[in-house]
Chain A
Amino acid sequence: MANTQMSQTTTGKSAGGFTEAEAERRRVRVNWLLSLPALVWLAFAASGPLLIMVVYSFLTPGDYVGVVWDFSTDAWFQVLFTRDIFDETIVTMADAHLSIFWRSISLSLMTTATTLVFGFPTAYFIATRSPRSRPMWLFLVTIPFWTNLLIRTFAIMELIRNEGLINTVLLKAGLIDTPIQMLFTDGATLVGMTYVYLPLMVLPLYASMERLDFRLVEAGYDLYASRLQVLRRVILPLVKPGVIAGSILVFIPSLGAYVTPRLLGGGRNMMMGNFIEMQFGAGRNWPLGAALSITLLFIVMIALIFYVRNVGKEGSGHG
C-alpha cells in the first residue's frame, strides 16, 4: 500500500527503468487499487442497492405498501409539479417541495456556521494541549455521543423548558419574572442541531490542526501580524482541509435531519428528511420518495463537486 508514496517520490527520477508515462499509469492504477476496497464495500451495502430506488422511481405505488411493476413517470412529474387536491386538471409547480427543501437547506447552513464558530476554537484548544492528553480531550468530545440521540434531546428539553433548569435558576435569581419560552422555537432547534453535529466538525478540524506548525505562526508574529491576521492568513489556510471536511460532514447529513427540529422546534413544518420518510410510510408513495431522494442526491453531488473544486483547490499550496 505504500507504493503510492514510493511511486510518487520516484516518478521524477524515472527510477527502476520506468518511463514517465509508465510510472504515471502505474501510479493511477495504484491509487484506484487503494480506493477499490471502500468502493466495493459501498457498492455492496450502500450505493449499489440504491439502484433499486432508481428503478422504483419509474414504477407505480402499491395500494398499501411498496410498488407494483407498472412503468410510470408520474413520480418524476410529481417532483416538479403538483396537481390541485380537488381538481386534478389544475397543475402548478410543486411549491411544497421547494419550501421544504429550502427549510432544510437554510437550517443546514446555519448549523454548519454555528458548529464552525464553536468547533474551531474547541479543536484549536485540543490541538494545543500536550500530545499525551490530546486523545483524552478528543474522547471527551465524543463521549456524550455514546448516549442515544433521543435521550440527549430529551435531556436538552429538561434544560430549556419553561419549568426547566435554566428558567428555574433565572427565576430564583430574580433575573426574570416569567419563564422565557425556549422550547418550540427556532433558536432551540439551532442549539440542538449545533449540539448534535459539533463532533462532526471538531474531529476533522482537529485532525488537520494537530500538525499545525507553530513556527509558521511565530513567523507571522515576527512579521508584525496581529492575532486576527495570523488566524486568517496563516492558520486558516493551513487547516483548510479540516474546515472543508468538517463542513461537508455537518452540512450534508443535517439536510436529512428532522428528529431534533421536531422535538425541540415543535416540528409544525416538515423537513426534507421526514417528508421523504412520509412517502415510504403513511404517504404510501415509494416512487415519489425514490424520485425525491435521487433528486436530492444529484443536487448534493453537484454542489459537493463544485465546492471541492473551487474552495478546496484555491490557495492550498501544498499536497
Chain B
Amino acid sequence: MADTLSDDVLRRAAERAQSKRFDVRTMPGFTTIAVICFIALYAPLFPMAFYSFNAGDSIAVWQGFSWRWYVSAWSNDLVKDVTVRSLIVAACASGIATVLAVLAALGTTRTQPFRGQTLIYVLINQPLMVPEIVTGVALLVFFAMIKVATGYTGLIYLIAAHAAFCIPFAYLPIRARLEGMDKTLEAAASDLYATPIQAFRRITLPLMTPGIVAGAMLAFVISLDDVVITELVKAAGQDTLPTYMLGQLRRAITPEINAISTALLAITVVLLTTIFFLTSKKE
C-alpha cells in the first residue's frame, strides 16, 4: 500500500464522517482489559463462597454441602458483634475522613501557590508513609495515657485512628477531581450575585461529587480491612472482623469467616441492586 498522506487522511476523515459506529469514546482493547479486570476481581470470591458451604472445617478441602457455618456464625454473638462494629467504625471513619478531606482539598487546589502548600500536602499524606505497626504502637502508647487519665475507653479512639489514616485515601481522589476543574462556572455564579454558600452548593459541590464518592468508597474499604492499628488501639470488647480473623492465621481458619464474608457480600449486592433499580425507575 502506498497511499499518499493526503489520500489516507481524506479517507479516514470520510470514514469517520460516514460511519455511525465511530465513537470518539472507545479505545481499542480498553473494554477487553476492563472486562478481564472485573472477572479477575470477582474470581477469588467464588472459591470463598464455595467453601462457606463446606461441611468440614477446612477452607480448602471440600467435605460435602452444609449450612453449618452459616448457622454457627449466626448463633455466635461475637461474630455478629464484630461485624456490626466493623461497619460502624468504617462508616464513621470514612464519613469524618471524607469531610475533612473535602475541606483540605478545597484549600489546597485551584489556588495560586502559597507558602506551606506542599507542607500541607505532605502532612495530609503522612499516614501512608509509615508502616502501620509503627503508627499502631505510637497510638497505643498515646491513647493509653488518655485512657488512664480519663477512664474513658469507648469506641471513639478506634474511630479517631481510622479516620486519621483514611484521610489521604479520601483526599487524593477528591484532589485529583478538583485539580483542573473549571473555575469559570463559579465566577459566573458570583457575577450573577450568588452568595459564596450558594455557589458552593449549586456549582462546586455537584462538580466534586464523583471525586467525593470515589474518596469515600476508598476510605470505607480501607477502614473495613484494617488489622494492625485496630489490633493495637482497640480496648476490651472492641474486636472488629479483621482482628477477629487475625488470630486464626496461626491456628486454623474455619469456613465461618467465609460464611460471614459471603453473607455480607450478598447483602451488599442485593441492597445496591435494589437501590439502583429503584432510583433509575423513578427518574
Contacts and interface: CB of A to CB of B under 8 A. Distances in A.
A30 B107 contact: yes
A141 B99 CA distance: 22
A265 B218 CA distance: 26
A238 B265 CA distance: 35
A155 B44 contact: yes
B241 to A, nearest CB: 6
Contacts of A128: 25-26
Nearest to A298: B129
A46 B242 CA distance: 20
Interface stretch (B65-73, B108-116, B147-155): B108-116
Interface residues of B, number: 128
Interface string B116-145: 111011111111111111110111011100
A151 B261 contact: yes
Contacts of B38: 122, 140-141
Contact of B29 (A121, A198, A296): A121
Interface in B12-69: 12-13, 16, 24-31, 33-34, 36-38, 40-48, 51, 59-60
The size class of the interface chain A forms with chain B is 35 or more
B37 A159 contact: no
Nearest to A3: B196
A231 interface: yes
B101 interface: yes
Interface in A13-46: 24, 27-28, 30-35, 37-39, 41-42, 44-46
B101 to A, nearest CB: 6
B27 A231 contact: yes
A93 interface: no
B211 interface: yes
B176 A37 contact: no
A204 B276 contact: no
Interface string B65-104: 0000000000000000000000000000000100111011
Contacts of B168: 249
Contacts of A162: none
A44 B165 CA distance: 11
A3 B29 CA distance: 44
B107 A47 contact: no
B235 interface: no
A75 to B, nearest CB: 13
A34 B42 contact: no
A296 B245 contact: no
B34 A122 contact: yes
Interface string A253-295: 1001000000000000000110011001000001001100100
Contacts of A39: 104, 120, 123-124
Given A5-B186, A121-B27, A296 B116 contact: no
Contacts of B118: 305, 308-309
A200 B47 CA distance: 24
Given A121-B30, A214-B25, 6 more contacts: A121-B34, A121-B37, A151-B261, A207-B174, A241-B180, A293-B134
8 contacts: A28-B114, A52-B138, A138-B217, A148-B257, A224-B13, A242-B173, A244-B176, A248-B128
Considering the complex of A and B, which 9 residue pairs feature the smallest CB-CB distances, nearest first? Answer: A34-B107, A2-B200, A125-B34, A155-B44, A2-B196, A158-B47, A45-B164, A121-B30, A49-B142
